[in-house]
Amino acid sequence: MAAEARIAVIGGSGLYRFLDATETLALSTPHGDPSGPITIAAVGGEGVAFLPRHGTQHTIPPHAINYRANLFALHSLGVQRVLAPAAVGSLRPQMAPGHVVICDQFIDRTWGRVSTFYDGPVVAHVSVADPYCEELRPLAVVAGVAAGFTVHERGTVLVTQGPRFGTRAEARFHRDIGADVLNMTQYPEVALARELGMCYVNLSLVTDYDAGIDAAPGVAPVSQEAVLRVFGENVERLRAALVRLIETIPQQRACRCGERGAQPMRPA
């Protein structure tokens, strides 16, 4: 396989195409097929891989995504850095629709998802105390501001199972345990990237206020139509932020994401 890419973008809801592709790859992996063909585009002379997380026509719901195949396929191309834009619902009034949150932590509330490359007999216990790349996050903040977004430099994303949206009681509970925004796809994606020693940064575009905000009873609960509308209104700025981020990523990694990748324990 001749194609190589050092950087990848995994597109979320509303972002099914990134840039004009110079090459399209239909890959298969030991873990099955990824969500769709991987396209390669050039950004400043750099080969950048793009994979639509939900498929090119948004046919794969969050709980049915083959996260292992997606990450394995990108890794097989030589990808070291994964940029992961996603739509999120806000639990905090100050994180308003149209803002971008550069998450630094996650809380997993999913179930039944295949979440590791190490099902046995080879075992590995990977540390995700700091799951998002500490080198890429500040660069993502600068890129988001340059694209015209109001950017929140950190935040905790709670990952729900989906595909349904949450109840008001769940929203109160999620706020109480420290979550700032909600998403359905960050886990196990970010953890699988860490197992492979890849850097991962999330640019969360706030599209809604989830089930509403208790302090603002006039705020309507989220709808699928509202999510896609707000994402569509901001998708070009999001593309601009991603391009700016790619252009500022240094050739050599100065983070510890590679060191913190999985260390397999083989059976005696």
Q: Would you name the residues annotated as active-site residues?
A: 208, 210
Pairing of strands 100-101, 46-52: unpaired
Q: How many of the other CB atoms lie within 10 Å of CB of 46?
A: 14
Residue 197, Cβ neighbours under 10 Å: how many?
17
Tokens 């950017």 label which residue?
151
Helix/strand/coil (H, E, C) string of the chain? CCCCCCEEEEECCCCCCCCCCCEEECCCECCECCCCCEEEEEECCEEEEEEECCCCCCCCCHHHCCHHHHHHHHHHCCCCEEEEEEEEEECCCCCCCCCEECCCEEEEECCCCCCCCCCCCCECCCCCCCCCCCCHHHHHHHHHHHCCCCEECCCEEEEECCCCCCCHHHHHHHHHCCCCEEECCHHHHHHHHHHCCCEEEEEEEEEECCCCECCECCCCCCCHHHHHHHHHHHHHHHHHHHHHHHHHCCCCCCCCCCCCCCCCECCC
At 76, the amino acid letter reads S
Number of residues that make up the chain:
268
Query: Measured between alpha carbons, how far is residue 253 from residues 73, 74, 104, 141 in Å?
Result: 21, 17, 18, 18
